[in-house]
Each structure stands twice: as structure tokens, then as C-alpha cells.
Structure 1
Amino acid sequence: MSAAPRASVRALVVDPSASAAVRLAEVPDPVPGSDQALVAVSHASLNYGDLNDARSGRVPVGAVLGSDAAGVVVRAAADGTGPAVGTRVVALTSGAFAERVAIGVGALAEVPKDLDLARAAALPVAGVAALRSLRAAGLGPGKRVLVTGASGGVGRYAVQLAARAGAHVIASVGSAARGEGLREAGADEVLIGLERLQRPVDVVIDNVGGPQLVAAWNLLAPGGSVQSVGWTSGEPAVLPPYATVGPAKSLTSFVIEGAVTEDLAALTELAAEGLLSVEIGWQGSWDRFEEAAEALRGRRISGKAVLEVASGELPAGG
């Protein structure tokens, strides 16, 4: 049974005049395309990229923000593909911070019954970025893998996934407090900064950028790869002369592209089985978006910030 359309839904939209450049507003009820499912969102997670998108102009003023969402399918895709009505799903899609979102079936995955939707919502951007960047870098048993900004969402997933693959994992954080739990997650070494790291590494998953990216490049072994996933430092990276002259190694920009269903399914299965820990450092109503944004920007959160969407379930008859 499909849901009857409503004139509008609430959503978090970009507004430069708001203190966090985001506010709750009414937007038109989405109209799904033939290959899109309509999802009633119950939880969404906040990423550094969302905060940047709200201020950079990449997401236009008045447009719905967000990429990570979890909820229930209330209208299946008209072309017969994708999950059925009533299926609990997780998604990586633009405009995720709304009560209802039309989502392409290639951006959805069913959530296993043993995984709650709050934890599922914390997986898409950070989990897929960790999984794909490690894959692109040539992860394998015995590789020395450095993860910078390891206390954040991408970092914690990268540490766990690299450890599961048999790598020697070095987690770099900004303070001792932010390193808590990383050894339990699979890190063989937890360092504050990179000053104490002497031996070369084969893979770098860099979430920090700036001078730390330069230091990581200098630590990279011949044939190694740096995956530039994030840039939370906001600082420029200045390479000294001849830093890029020598044995072949690579610095690769990273972005998530294409269908993500298979990767989301793999991540949610690992989480449901207890093989991938989902750490939520902040959780609360999306009315408290400013509080969540300040905590994330101020690096007071280890792991993910999860927003509870006020009406993830549609009212009866509506």
C-alpha cells in the first residue's frame, strides 16, 4: 500500500542567515522518479562535509542538506526495482535531512533486523568512504596503514576495516582523549600527531589535510598511496621542493561515486554481526542541529553525530 502524498514535509535547509547556516523549514513533498523509492526518514547522521556544504555554496540556499539517512520505505520504486514498502533501509543520497526523501534504488540498502536505524544512519558517508579509500589504496595483509584523524567517523571505520584485513594499523589523533577506544577497535599503534612515527607506511587514509598531509606524504613508502578523504584542519598543505621527485608513490583525491547498495549492505551486515562497531558520540533531535554542528566542528565528538527526525513515521491516513 503506497502512502498518500502530502503538500509539504519538514527539512533542514541551507540558510546563511541562521547561526549554523541551516534551519528547519517546510519544503515540497518529494515526487519519486520511476527508479526511486520514497523513504520516511527516522534518523540521519551529520558529517563534516555537510557543515562545509552549508557554508560553501555547494548546496544552494533553500536546498535540503545532508547525505546519510535511515528509515522505512513508504512507496516502492514504480519500475519494480529496489526494496518493498515497509522495508527498513539506509541510504547515501543528497538532500537526506528531510522527513521524506525520494531515493534512487542504487543508493539504498536494506537494514538487517539486528541493526537499529540510528546506527545504520551513521554508516553511509563515513563507512563507504573508509571502505572504498582502503580498497583504492591497495589494502592487504601485512600492509602498514596510517589513518589520520582516526577518532572521527571515517577514521574509526578505517581503523576497524584495515585491522580486519590483516594490516598493521597506526591511528593518529589530536589528543590522548581522542585516542580512547582505538586500540580496542584494532589499532596497533595510537599516536598524537605524526612526530613519533619513523618507519614508512604503505597506505595513508588522510582525514586532516594541511601540514599533516605533507608529513604523511613524507612517510609514504615507495609504491604507497595517500587517499585524501577529508580536510578537517582547514589549513593549506605546502610541499617542500623536490618532495614529489623520487620513487613512485601517489596522492589521490577521493570522492564517493556511483551505486553504493553493495557497500552499504556489506557495512550494515558487519555492524549487525558485531564485527564493525558504530560509535555514536552525539544523538538528539534535529531541532538541536546547531548543538550537534558545534560539537562536531569543535571536535568534541568521537565517532558520529546522529539526528533524530521528528516524524520519521507518517501520520495515519496522511
Structure 2
Amino acid sequence: MQALMIDHSAPGHLALTTVADPEPAAHQALVRVHSFSLNSGEVHHVIPEGEPGTVPGWDAAGVVVQAAADGTGPAAGTPVVTVGADGAWAELRAVDTALIGTAPAGADLGPISTLPVAAGTALRVLHRVGPILGRRVLVTGAGGGVGRFTLQLAARGGAHVTAMTSDPAKADALRALGAHEIVTDLAALQHLEPVHGVVELVGGAHMVGAHGALAEHGVLVAAGHISGDGEQFPYRAFFGDSRRHNRQIVTYFLLDDAAGLGDDLTWLAALTARGELDPQVALRTDWSEAAWAVAELAGRRVPGKAVIDIP
């Protein structure tokens, strides 16, 4: 089969080449990939730092060509959306059936390929925050892939959503996705009405400021670290005698949370197919231009998700 392989001597560290077909384990289905999407972590870390000769890629959508031998998962011919630690950027992918969601028949698999890491993380992190109907939720890094899905799902769940972005020009677009309130600088966090939950995607000073905005018994879920900065909390930030005690900071990583993920991906795919969830696809091309697309995303010139189709 053809696949995009990590090759540090090639433009963009990627080479389209012939590799052996994957051999699925008993609990895996073999999927013919139609489209895959790019994620920030892939373009900034996996590709430049990856092992030469490996096939990268987390998110992909396609059609099952061989059902799992153990009888789990969808039948051959089923359109699906998949996630895994690698192997998505290829014509064929062997995927654990627990990490497969089904897509509606006839749906455009390009937008659906954007869902696993970004929308899956957004949904699971909101579950970790707890009940959000009628509560206040703050999303930092709201203009990124996970952030945009989080805004839509939190608003759908009945939350009052505050979006934090470093780019004021994104304010109207974030409101269109469900944000009720926009914050563009850290100092403004001190004046927010306390929030019940935080989806924290930036790290560094943003995590510190967002923790300070938590209400009593509030939960901050750290699911991204795009700043690359560490955190230094001020004295008394964790004292238990303040008005806001029993606040939690927890971390989240999607691939360590596989139970029920296939069902969540199926639900997200149906929402997307009905036009009720907008993946915000801003770049779509075929894999002959994958290195260019990776460079565009790494350079922050893609104001949304990037989708690569396999001809």
C-alpha cells in the first residue's frame, strides 16, 4: 500500500512511499482510509521528532474492508471514523474496534475525519468537568481545534461559555460557535464571575489564571499545553481556608480513555453529518500536498482544521 512515512531527508519530513499492508490483530478491523486530519501535536512534535520509517497519524475516516476476527466492531462495508497512536496516514489502517465509531451512510468523510482527537477530547473533558447545564465553563485556547469543538459542545450542553483567546479578531467567530463571553487577556480572569469548570488548553500563566477563576468545588481539566510554558502558582493559591476551596486540577489524555470512545465517535459523526457540529475545515487537499499542508498548520496559517484526502 501507499503511505506517508517519516523521512527527515524529505521536504516536510514526509515521503509518500510503498510499505507493507498492516496485519490486523483479532480485535482490530482493517479500514481503507478515505481522509485523515492533521492535529497540532502531530505537526509540532510527531513529524519533526518521529522515528524514521514510521507511518504517523491519529485521526482517519474510511470504510471497513475486513471486520475484526473476534466478532467485535463494525462489519465490512461500514463507513467509520477511527483514532489510534499512529498509522492513519496510509491507504489501509488496522484499528482496535474500541477506537472505531460508525459514520452515517453517504456522509462526507473529510469533515468526520477531524473528530477523534479534537472533538473526542472536548467531549470527554466536558464529561470530566461534570454537569454543565446552567453552569459556567471557561475554555482557554478557545480558537484552537479542541477549543472550537469544546465551545460548541458546552453550549449544546446548556453551559454559559466563556472563551479565552489571545486574538481579539476571533471574537465574532467564537461567539458564532457558542461563546457567550470573550476574554482576551489574563488580567480579565481576575474579574470573571467564578466558573464551575475550566477546559485548559494553553498551560503556563493561563492555567494559573484559570485556576484562580474557579468557584468552590470547581474542576480544571488540563488537556493541552500549547504555550510550552511551566506553571508557577502564587502563595496561598492552594490554601484551604479561602472562600474557594476544594478546587481540583486534573489532567486528560484521550488514548488512555478508550472505554466507550467508539460510541462517542459515532454520536459526534452523526452530529457532524446533520450539520449540528461544525469541524471548521479551513484547508482540504490530497496527500500529494501533505508536506505543504503540515507547514501551513505549523505556521498557524490555517484558521481551522486541515483535512487530507487519499485519492
Matched, 1:144 2:144: no
Which among 67, 70, 73 is matched to residue 58 of structure 2?
Answer: 67
Name the counterpart of 2:287.
Answer: 286
Name the counterpart of 1:211.
Answer: 205
* 2:280 partner letter: E
The change in CA–CA distance for 1:89 and 1:55 in structure 2 (over 3 A counts) is closer
Tell me how far 1:55 sits from its aligned partner.
5.3
Pairwise CA RMSD of aligned residues?
1.9
TM-score (norm 1): 0.88
Alignment of 1:80-229 (within 5 A): 80-94=71-85, 95-113=87-105, 115-197=107-189, 198=191, 199-229=193-223
Matched, 1:243 2:237: yes
Name the counterpart of 1:4.
Answer: none
State the alpha-carbon separation in 2 of the partners of residues 221 and 10 from structure 1.
Answer: 52
Percent of aligned pairs with the same amino acid: 42
The change in CA–CA distance for 1:142 and 1:276 in structure 2 (over 3 A counts) is same
Q: Secondary structure at the match of 1:118?
A: helix
Matched, 1:15 2:7: yes
8 Å CA contact 1:34, 1:78 repeated in 2: yes
The change in CA–CA distance for 1:145 and 1:308 in structure 2 (over 3 A counts) is same
Tell me how far 1:50 sits from its aligned partner.
1.4
Q: Secondary structure at the match of 1:146?
A: strand
Larger mean Cα displacement after TM superposition, 111-120 or 176-185: 176-185
Larger mean Cα displacement after TM superposition, 293-302 or 26-35: 293-302
Tell me how far 1:56 sits from its aligned partner.
7.3
Tell me how far 1:107 sits from its aligned partner.
1.1
After the TM superposition, which segments of 4 or more aligned residues of structure 1 sit over 6 Å from their partners?
A: none
Tell me the matched-pair count.
301
Q: Secondary structure at the match of 1:196?
A: helix
Query: 1:265-314: CA deviations, max 9, x gaps?
Result: 1111222222212210111122222322232223222331111123xxxx
8 Å CA contact 1:151, 1:179 repeated in 2: no
The change in CA–CA distance for 1:161 and 1:55 in structure 2 (over 3 A counts) is same
State the alpha-carbon separation in 1 of the partners of residues 156 and 305 from structure 2.
Answer: 21
Name the counterpart of 1:266.
Answer: 267
8 Å CA contact 2:37, 2:305 repeated in 1: yes
Tell me how far 1:187 sits from its aligned partner.
0.8
Tell me how far 1:212 sits from its aligned partner.
1.2
Tell me how far 1:18 sits from its aligned partner.
4.1
Query: 1:82-123: CA deviations, max 9, x gaps?
Result: 222221111012221111101111111111135310011011
Name the counterpart of 1:3.
Answer: none
Name the counterpart of 1:314.
Answer: none
Query: 1:105-155: CA deviations, max 9, x gaps?
Result: 111111113531001101111011000001001132121111111112111
State the alpha-carbon separation in 2 of the partners of residues 21 and 244 from structure 1.
Answer: 44
Q: Secondary structure at the match of 2:239?
A: coil
Which among 2, 16, 24 is matched to residue 32 of structure 1?
Answer: 24
State the alpha-carbon separation in 1 of the partners of residues 131 and 98 from structure 2.
Answer: 25
8 Å CA contact 2:43, 2:297 repeated in 1: no
* 1:263 partner letter: D
State the alpha-carbon separation in 1 of the partners of residues 302 and 90 from structure 2.
Answer: 23
Name the counterpart of 2:253.
Answer: 255
Gaps of 5+ in 2: none
The change in CA–CA distance for 1:193 and 1:17 in structure 2 (over 3 A counts) is farther
Q: Secondary structure at the match of 1:84?
A: coil
The change in CA–CA distance for 1:179 and 1:306 in structure 2 (over 3 A counts) is farther
* 2:227 partner letter: S
State the alpha-carbon separation in 2 of the partners of residues 232 and 51 from structure 1.
Answer: 12
Query: 1:215-267: CA deviations, max 9, x gaps?
Result: 11121122111111111112222222332223121111111122421110111
8 Å CA contact 1:112, 1:269 repeated in 2: yes
* 2:196 partner letter: D
User: Which is helix-richer, 1 or 2?
Assistant: 2
The change in CA–CA distance for 1:10 and 1:176 in structure 2 (over 3 A counts) is same
* 2:292 partner letter: E
Q: Secondary structure at the match of 1:195?
A: helix
Tell me how far 1:164 sits from its aligned partner.
1.0
8 Å CA contact 2:59, 2:113 repeated in 1: yes
